[in-house]
A and B are shown apart, each in its own frame.
Chain A
């Protein structure tokens, strides 16, 4: 379900700062049904789910690490790797699809040299997919850092990407 997969190469992951995690977990200790909200606030804090933070969390809220991983990998929302400074989400909803979102997506991939779910090596862009953001009237649509760009055609992509540092 999740597009994350092990690449086999040894990746240099950034150091993880665990200060502040305690305050973040505090409200959830001893509550029921908290795994997803906990992961959501961890991701909000770190931008992704760093392994050391998951290990700490498992101990703190007394949930097996395997369960945290199980849940985290089930839902598309959770990312196991650091993400880029700019998050591109190309809408792959039905209305966007029939108005050519595939071609838009391909053009983005071509320009950045990455596939959906990946991040450029310089951490400038992460490319994701999203299903219908409710702007079908402007299909095909993509958002970059939540700024919507609508009525896209492949030839317009390059300029738009260039405007994000």
Chain B
């Protein structure tokens, strides 16, 4: 028995902030003192609060340490592990707490969350099936083995669960279609392609609790009558793939996967396929083509995969988070508990990857129906550096933005759609007054244009045209008629594109025009980008009133565009300046301002 468990976050966010070094230091230090048998060190999945990584949680005390460096380790061992005294200086501190917060529950970031799908993430060792089982894992599956397929499907239908991969299709119904489809062979496929370029929910679930996804798939297989499953995971997620493989091995050892599972005459085997980096492969028919080894191009639906999927056999395809919801619903008493959370049309919780200009970035799981304001200001702690909230992008390249006026919108499928966004897969990117909404629209369109598979003309050509127009506006060549052109093209693509990529890619453009028309006008008429993003549409200017001549800006400029003596006003040469923004970041007096491009004459005077 170990005295304490030390769960150190080994997920990507914390690895980037140096968790591997902290772990090494812990290992060394424990070994040096001969303590390695008393304290068990585990690299866990992401506990969510990536902003303050590297994170270490000590169990059973549940003390949450953050922003660790290897230098903190000796003190932590000495004081806490040996002395039993919490090291205050390493606890979470911030403007949103009065005193350093000791536990998860006292940190504002966690207070409004409802950890259901993520209840194991960061708490169990993702490489240990025993820990999963100890926390109630595989109980839902063993219960499902005793149920009739339609009984399982019925519970999923009653739960109201809708697909978490983007479209929000009712999961129970999808399962029923697959169950009723005629075929000598059926497949269950997990979509772990996670294509939204600003999101990492699925990755965190796979890295934090891989067995939950396996269990969800097994239950689906039992329900639809399948004996073979595929997990299609991005190759860029090597850790997720490794952990999945390990989880499948362990489940096989325990007789939960393979032949005649637990004596019920039910067989199931898994194959993991690594995706090869095309956004469109997240679309279900393209994904299936990709598993078959073809170019991942969508095909028209119907027929839907439920009837004709992988190798033309009935196939039930769901998203990672959808599958991870299933064990919560199917375990004894789970359905009642599940129905307690959420709103009428949107049950349960949703996991969001909260990023951008918000103070607390990371992964959060919230009850459906919570307001956007609560997510951004209570969980997210508001905007970084005391700046002003402008909008939040929901649903990535297929979604739209929510402006200040709509912040009290409840987060559920229907309200978001009404506001011109979508629930999407769970990317939330928060923007402040230094984000340019026209540039944002251009960014998403350049992404979808590059990722368009080219199979159908409206999407292939239409996205190119829209991108050209947006680039024109960002470079100062825009005219007001462009907005009508964009609108017409958008509607045309939406109505005629073959797959969801084309059908949804105009959304970011339409929603930014809808809510930020003024910003488009300013780009077009005044040739000015107030946010200081579109390089041809602004200049930097040092405010003589504010500058104290500290020289910080000049030292950082990569092209030597700033001149000035110490303690005297500094000046930026706009001809030389390439608008990299480094100086702005460095100036502590906010002396460097964004102004419209000046004409020659104005500069002289």
Contacts and interface: CB of A to CB of B under 8 A. Distances in A.
Interface of A: 1, 32-37, 39-40, 70-71, 74-78, 92-95, 97-100, 103, 106-107, 130-139, 141, 148, 150, 153-155, 158
B10 interface: no
Contact of B355 (A76, A77, A136): A136
Interface stretch (B83-91, B242-250, B271-279): B271-279
Contacts of B199: 132
B278 A74 contact: yes
Contacts of B101: none
A3 to B, nearest CB: 9
A75 B197 contact: no
Interface stretch (B12-20, B129-137, B178-186, B339-347): B12-20
A-B pairs, top 9 by smallest CB distance, nearest first, are: A94-B198, A131-B197, A75-B276, A136-B355, A134-B200, A95-B355, A148-B16, A35-B293, A134-B12
Contacts of A134: 11-13, 200, 203-204
Given A34-B293, A95-B361, A136-B355, 19 more contacts: A1-B278, A1-B453, A71-B295, A76-B278, A77-B235, A78-B276, A92-B447, A94-B429, A95-B356, A98-B440, A131-B447, A133-B200, A136-B50, A136-B353, A138-B13, A138-B17, A150-B17, A153-B585, A155-B580
Contacts of B450: 1
Interface residues of B, number: 62
Contacts of A100: 581
A130 B296 contact: no
B295 A70 contact: yes
Interface string B392-412: 010010000000000000000
B274 A40 contact: yes
Given A71-B294, A94-B427, A158-B558, A132 B582 contact: no
Contacts of A32: 292-293, 311
Contacts of A74: 278, 295-296, 453
A3 B199 CA distance: 23
A95 to B, nearest CB: 4
B590 interface: no
Contacts of B259: none
21 contacts: A36-B276, A36-B293, A37-B273, A40-B235, A75-B276, A75-B296, A76-B276, A93-B197, A98-B357, A99-B357, A103-B580, A106-B578, A130-B236, A131-B447, A132-B197, A132-B200, A133-B12, A134-B12, A136-B355, A136-B356, A150-B17
